[in-house]
Amino acid sequence: MTRFLARRLLQMIPVLFFVSVIIFTLINLIPGDAARLFLGEEASPDALLALRHELGLDRPLYVQYLRWIVGMARGDFGRSFKDNRPVFTTLMQKLPVTGELTAASLVIAWSLAIPAGILAAWRQRTAADYGVSAAALVGLSIPNFWLGIMLIYLFAVNLHWLPASGFTPFAEAPGRNLRALVMPAAVLGLFSAAVVMRQLRSSMVEVLAADFVRTAKAKGLGDRIVVVRHALRNAVIPVVTVMGIQVGILLGGAVITETIFAVPGLGQLAVNSIYTRDFPMLEGVVMMSALAILVINLAVDVIYSLIDPRIKLAGGRP
């Protein structure tokens, strides 16, 4: 296990290198002078020159790149153009908010998708199956920002049950924090639930047709034991993969739901830094989200081996 982890962590390095190159290239392709963005339109030429020197913008691009990644390796992501605070500090402030939102939506997604997927596969080609499958298809097709707007209209504008936007940290007021997260988490969770349910259903259908399931039934085991202990355990591997991918989708989805519900997380930060052309911040957010996905993919691989001992953690190339 240790060797596997070490190997996988080492394999992350070239990927992270490419990730950083892509981000750096993208940001440098954006037209406009960073020093002017930082100081504003009325800045004097001398001040611009001095700042360019201070930020290292007068150096060749590869020097700028090296300074950037060396800085990041030490936890220095640069300073925001907007408020001059270290990017890293802001990222660390926003991370728990998005983390909580993601966790809440995963809870919603799994608690809907797992029973629904099992039911649809177990009662295949019945009304229950068709109903659940149709609901999942609809769930996949509804854009999450529109669902967010509709929920705001229904529950905030009309019924006044939930706040339309705003966010209170959990530590300050747990009740208000959870009330503010219900709608954004539901928006994100419903979409994920649809994806996970479809995957679970199709792999359960396959497993339920396998010989060992027939054997288990022939032994006289009850439906519940066959479904949960025999079938589910074998069906869950592709589902774990999908769940890993889901986290990436949730981080992307957080961009839009956080914007709509004014949740001050990484997603809202990404959009705001695009609007205000705060490029160091944008670089930081994108880098952070890519890193999160790489770590989660690794975690998914480890979870595989825990669920299914047949999978050896050889660490072959993906």
Give residues in contact with another protein (CB under 8 A). Answer: 14-19, 21-23, 26-27, 29-30, 137-138, 140-143, 145-146, 149-150, 152-153, 157, 206, 248-249, 251-253, 255-256, 259, 270-271, 274-275, 282, 285-286, 289-290, 293-294, 297, 318
**Residue whose CB is less far from another protein, 18 or 212:** 18
**Residue whose CB is less far from another protein, 17 or 212:** 17
Q: How far is the CB of 285 from another protein (least distance, A)?
A: 7
**Residue whose CB is less far from another protein, 128 or 178:** 128
Written as six digits, the tokens of 56 are 């290292």
**Residue whose CB is less far from another protein, 118 or 292:** 292
Q: How far is the CB of 141 from another protein (least distance, A)?
A: 4
**Residue whose CB is less far from another protein, 143 or 166:** 143
Alpha helix (H) residue ranges in the chain: 2-29, 34-39, 45-55, 61-73, 87-122, 127-141, 144-151, 174-208, 211-218, 223-225, 233-261, 266-275, 279-307
Check: CB of residue 122 under 8 Å from CB of residue 209. Answer: no
Q: How far is the CB of 273 from another protein (least distance, A)?
A: 9
Tracing tokens 């199709």 back to the chain, one arrives at: 202
Q: How far is the CB of 170 from another protein (least distance, A)?
A: 24
Check: CB of residue 105 under 8 Å from CB of residue 181. Answer: no
Q: How far is the CB of 241 from another protein (least distance, A)?
A: 9
In sequence order, which residues have a C-beta less than 8 Å from that of residue 311 and are 6 or more positions away?
Answer: 237, 304, 305
**Residue whose CB is less far from another protein, 76 or 206:** 206
**Residue whose CB is less far from another protein, 70 or 134:** 134
The values of phi and psi at residue 41, to 5°, are: -70, -30
Q: How far is the CB of 73 from another protein (least distance, A)?
A: 17
Written as six digits, the tokens of 251 are 């981080």
CA angle 118, 119, 123 (to 5 degrees): 120
Q: How far is the CB of 134 from another protein (least distance, A)?
A: 8
Give the Cα separation of 147 and 154 in Å (integer): 10
In sequence order, which residues have a C-beta less than 8 Å from that of residue 289 and are 6 or more positions away?
Answer: 251, 266, 270
